[in-house]
Amino acid sequence: MNAVLTIVMLVVCAVAAIMVPDHGPTALALCLFLASIAAVAIWRFDRANEFLVRLFIGALAARIFVATLIAFFKWQTFFGGDSDTYDFYGWSMGLAWHGSGIYKAYVEQFTRSGGSGWGMLYVVAFIYEVVGRNTFAVQLFNAVIGAATAVIVYSIAQHLFENKRVARIAALFVAFYPSLILWSAQALKDGPIVFLLVVSMLCTLKMAERFSVKYLVILLASVLSVLTLRFYIFYMLITAIAGAFVIGMRSFSAKSFTRQFVVVIIMGLAMTYMGITRYATRQLGAFGNLETVQRSRQDAATSAKSGFAADVDVSTTGGALSAIPIGLFYLLFAPLPWQLASARQMITLPEMIVWWLSFPLLILGLWFTIRHRLRRVSPILLFTTLLTLGYSVFQGNIGTAYRQRAQLLVFYFIFVAVGMVLFKERREDRKRQAEERNQMIAAKQAERGFPPFKSPRDFGVKPTFQAVTPAIPGDES
């Protein structure tokens, strides 16, 4: 397996260097340097877990390949035009650092507009400082953190359920689900956002067990970075984390209460000291009212053919609540078969079939989790619930809903994995019980002097739908 993965990675890198000759070699050098650091960290973090290293390499190879296709065929605008925006303003920020007044004005214009995503400009600018203006390098940077996301999801699932089968299934979904590969193989902010969300959740779970300065610093850095990329997710994330610490993710004790109280206070003081609360309040005042949400939703619903429910008005509390059912349906299940009207929508069909078939397992996994792991999983449940309801209200476009779903899928797939394991274990239990019944019947027959009971398969005969079990003499039932 290691040899196969090595060959695959070499082939993918060679293809990338050949298909993107201008920027490929430099971008690959940066990618492999970062990937080497990540692989060593993964190896040391989980006690030389060979599966995780293989998972990371396989997930990275898949993302490099998709990123290469997008760069070669120039599909950036086709899949996400935001990459051109981040390329220009990130490049402008780098020039502003070197004293260009004109490009500094461009960057200030972008940040003054209050638009979400200005943190991505810094990511692009730093990469361009190292390798020059190279959008392919940004794609491969995202590919590395996208592959690392699967490893972190494994750690979250293992921490919550202490079941390697659940952890492996969840990680494999995140590593190789097509839309998660797609959004982390482009020069977009989606990959970093998803990565920061799972890092925040892992740190929160670790902090619930034992106070750690390391995890506290990582947690603060992650949530603050989310604020620079998509500010409204920051509020939901902070609410979920603080709520989980207040509720408690473990059985109540004086020690756990003190630890959770200290974490909440430190986070609050840190954000106040850094001016985050003032900045967040200004952002919330400008964009956090229902009238603004309605304008944004209306634009999304009417500006493209993939808009839906354009007549819905969410500018009032009642309207927002009434929009949740239809918005939730589209967020979870769109695009539907009859909505596949373009090539971009048609390529989503295979993965949507997988998702639709997985949804019952998601419900089963959630049911089990709520019954047996509610307090422990509270931060993830709180966050996914808030974000799901939020997107249900202000999403009015199928394409955008499909894209934003990636931020939820990384957590949904943990519950899908739980459902899959439960389903498989129940099948195994039923099979074992059937075998035990057959053994009991055979034992009773042996006691009465009858030959051992055999199933039709033992005679090379395929069983019929109504297999008849031989009656036991003296047993009137």
Query: What pLDDT, on the 0 to 100 scale, is given for residue 453?
Result: 52
Query: What pLDDT, on the 0 to 100 scale, is given for residue 394?
Result: 84
Whether pLDDT at 469 is above 50: no
Whether pLDDT at 473 is above 50: no
Query: What pLDDT, on the 0 to 100 scale, is given for residue 32?
Result: 96
- What CA dihedral angle connects 9, 19, 33 and 123, to 10 degrees? -130
Spatial CB neighbours of 224, under 8 Å, sequence gap ≥ 6: 271, 274, 276
| Residue 140: φ, ψ to 5° | -75, -30
More confident residue, 456 or 5: 5
Query: What pLDDT, on the 0 to 100 scale, is given for residue 249?
Result: 61
The percent of residues in the chain predicted with pLDDT above 70, rounded, is 85
Per-range mean pLDDT, top range of 108-112, 222-226, 412-416, 465-469:
412-416
The type of residue at 216 is L
Mean pLDDT computed over 133-149 = 97
The type of residue at 337 is P
Confidence of residue 367 (pLDDT cuts 50, 70, 90): very high
Which token pair is 406? 């990636």
Spatial CB neighbours of 350, under 8 Å, sequence gap ≥ 6: 178
Answer whether 207's CB lies under 8 Å from 240's CB: no
Mean of all residue pLDDT scores within the chain: 86
Whether pLDDT at 235 is above 60: yes
Of 141-145, 168-172, 365-369, 396-400, least confident by mean pLDDT is: 396-400
179 sits in which H/E element: helix 178-183
Query: What pLDDT, on the 0 to 100 scale, is given for residue 21?
Result: 95
Whether pLDDT at 210 is above 50: yes
Confidence of residue 110 (pLDDT cuts 50, 70, 90): confident
Phi-psi region of 69 (alpha: psi -120 to 50; beta: other; left: phi over 0): alpha
| Residue 393: φ, ψ to 5° | -80, -50
CB half-sphere exposure, 166, CA atoms < 13 A = 25
Query: What pLDDT, on the 0 to 100 scale, is given for residue 267?
Result: 72
Closest CA to 225 of 238, 209, 213: 238
Q: What angle do CA 281, 286, 288 make, to 5 degrees?
A: 75
Of 212-226, 322-336, 444-458, least confident by mean pLDDT is: 444-458
Whether pLDDT at 189 is above 50: yes
| Rounded distance between C-alpha atoms, residue 308 and residue 325, angstroms | 13
Written in H, E and C, the secondary structure of 118-139 is: HHHHHHHHHHHHHHCCCHHHHH
The partner residues of 307 in beta bridges, in order of sequence, read 397
For 152-166, the pLDDT digits (tens) are 999 999 999 999 999
Confidence of residue 281 (pLDDT cuts 50, 70, 90): low
Residues, the chain: 477
Q: How far is CA 215 from each of CA 209, 313, 402, rounded to the nearest angstrom?
A: 11, 42, 32
Query: What pLDDT, on the 0 to 100 scale, is given for residue 286?
Result: 62
H runs (alpha helix) in 334-377: 343-346, 349-372
Of 79-93, 103-117, 429-443, 462-476, least confident by mean pLDDT is: 462-476
Which token pair is 315? 């500018």
- What CA dihedral angle connects 461, 462, 465 and 467, to 10 degrees? 30
Burial of 63 (0-12, 13-18, 19+ CB in 10 A): buried
Mean pLDDT computed over 405-434 = 93
For 432-443, the pLDDT digits (tens) are 888 888 888 888
Per-range mean pLDDT, top range of 165-179, 296-310, 459-473:
165-179
Answer whether 195's CB lies under 8 Å from 149's CB: yes
Confidence of residue 277 (pLDDT cuts 50, 70, 90): low
Closest CA to 28 of 53, 61, 5: 61
| Rounded distance between C-alpha atoms, residue 286 and residue 159, angstroms | 39
